[in-house]
A = this chain, B = another copy of it.
């Protein structure tokens, strides 16, 4: 894991996390090697616990209303190399080594569309 994408000056733990009204926390997933932002998804307490336990990202699917092991079906799992908490404790950043594309469209990153105001 490269350290150029983060600078650790502190630690945070479960008690520092602020879950929203649904018990979720938005989580940015970043490629630990390239720095590319791959996706944003939501973690529940259970998905964070599973992520820590397995070393692979787990999320809560708001549309399917179920736990979701990223890559569990596609094989495109994400091996966690680092987990970070923001100053407010209401957002996570997880750095990963992805086994394949993050996006269900097959794109490496879900952020493959440039915003064009007058498109």
Contact = CB atoms under 8 A, between A and B. Distances in A.
Interface of A: 4-14, 16, 26, 28, 30, 34-37, 39-40, 52, 82-88, 91-93, 103-105, 107-119
Identical chains bound together, number: 2
A116 B40 contact: no
B35 A28 contact: no
A118 B15 CA distance: 10
Q: In terms of DSSP, what is the predominant structure of the interface of chain A?
A: loop
B13 A83 contact: no
Nearest to A84: B111
**Nearest 6 pairs between A and B by C-beta?**
A35-B35, A13-B119, A12-B113, A84-B111, A83-B115, A86-B110
25 contacts: A4-B34, A4-B36, A5-B34, A5-B37, A6-B109, A6-B111, A7-B109, A8-B113, A9-B107, A10-B114, A11-B119, A12-B113, A13-B115, A14-B117, A28-B28, A37-B37, A37-B93, A39-B86, A40-B86, A52-B117, A82-B114, A83-B114, A87-B112, A87-B113, A88-B110
